[in-house]
Structure 1
Amino acid sequence: MKVILVCKSVSHGNTQRVAEAMSQVLGGRVVAPADIDPAELADCDLVGFGSGIYYMDFHPELRGFIAALPTGHRGKAFVFRTSGVAEPPFRRYVTSLTKSIERKGFDVVDAFDCRGFDTMLPLRLVGGIRKGHPNATDITAARAFAENLRARTTATP
């Protein structure tokens, strides 16, 4: 199974650690949006798209990468993210990104959320939140998610 995780991790490396844990299970590689030719995704069996959440949205570089992808029939995909807080009901950024990915021809099969150390303003003023995350429990959850995803995406119908 050919797997690529397109990951934009900036502030504390939270999302990178989660992506690497998943890639170990899935047997894929982790790349930044700027470091991959979009044509490489055409023959992937599974593609992960993830970033930290910045001001209630995925990183602009990841969103731009997805927007620039050509439309066509593609394989399965999933979304992953790290954030200091849960997605609010008034700003469904996961749904928005999922729809963008699906418009490019992917079948989005799941999403993974993980708490991460967050120091974006105004949180920086109080030293941030979720210090120490992702922790060992979070990484174990990311691996379990990837194992479940692998089992579901490689099963024969």
Structure 2
Amino acid sequence: MKTAIIYYSKHHGNTKKLLDAIVETNPDIQLIDITEKHEVNLCKYDRIGIASGIYFGKFAKQILTFAKINLPEYSKVFFVYTYGSADKKTYTKEIKKIVKDLYCDIVGEFGCPGFDDFGPLKLFGGLQKEHPTVDEINSAVEFYEKVKETTNALITKRKLRKKLELGTCN
């Protein structure tokens, strides 16, 4: 089963650190840096990750726009993100709306702190220094393994149901 993760990780590369660890244990994943590719055919993927740092309380506007244009309907989608402040309640609100408007299934989300010294935070040395930690990075890898298990089971059930409907399953 094929996985692509579209991502935007600019400020300190916090989100990319998580993705690199996930890909290290799952080298078949296609990482797509949306700053390098603006249009991608994602239809061939069974799972699509959307990853971003949190900018002003939400996923980067670039990833939101990219998802609106490129995300296929009815996809299995998961989120990975890093944040500087701890108000996680609204971080995925806008991306979830985009995904739900495309009738996609959200199969999980993982967020953890990331170092942030944007703007005035720089004067104070920033927030969430030393993040993501090794434990947080390992948790991101474990999260993806669970996403993989869940989506494999869902996709297998769907394929079996299709075979039964077509009468091609004994």
- Asked if 2 retains the 8 angstrom alpha-carbon contact of 1:84 and 1:115, the reply is yes
- Asked if 2 retains the 8 angstrom alpha-carbon contact of 1:118 and 1:128, the reply is yes
Give the paired residue count.
Answer: 154
Residue 62 of structure 1 deviates from its aligned partner by 0.5
Structure 2 partner of 1:24 = 24
Question: Percent identity among equivalent residues?
Answer: 30
Structure 1 partner of 2:55 = 54
1:35-54 equivalences in 2 (<5 Å):
35-36=36-37, 38-54=39-55
Structure 2's unaligned 5+ residue stretches are 158-170
Residue 32 of structure 1 deviates from its aligned partner by 1.2
- Asked if 1 retains the 8 angstrom alpha-carbon contact of 2:41 and 2:70, the reply is no
Structure 2 partner of 1:68 = 69
Residue 38 of structure 1 deviates from its aligned partner by 4.1
Residue 39 of structure 1 deviates from its aligned partner by 4.5
Q: Which consecutive segments of 4 or more residues in structure 1 shift more than 4 A?
A: none
Distance in 2 between residues matched to 1:34 and 1:137, nearest whole Å = 28
Q: Which amino acid aligns with 1:99?
A: K
**Deviation sequence 1:78-135 (CA, Å, 0-9, x none):** 111101122354xx23022112022234211111101110112232220101111111
Structure 2 partner of 1:104 = 102
- Asked if 1 retains the 8 angstrom alpha-carbon contact of 2:18 and 2:140, the reply is yes
Q: Which amino acid aligns with 2:57?
A: M
Q: Which amino acid aligns with 1:145?
A: F
Distance in 2 between residues matched to 1:57 and 1:37, nearest whole Å = 20
User: What secondary structure does 1:102 align onto?
Assistant: helix
Distance in 1 between residues matched to 2:93 and 2:143, nearest whole Å = 19
TM-score by length of 1: 0.87
Q: C-alpha root-mean-square deviation of aligned residues, in Å?
A: 1.9
- Bigger shift: residues 30-39 or 15-24: 30-39
User: What secondary structure does 1:112 align onto?
Assistant: strand
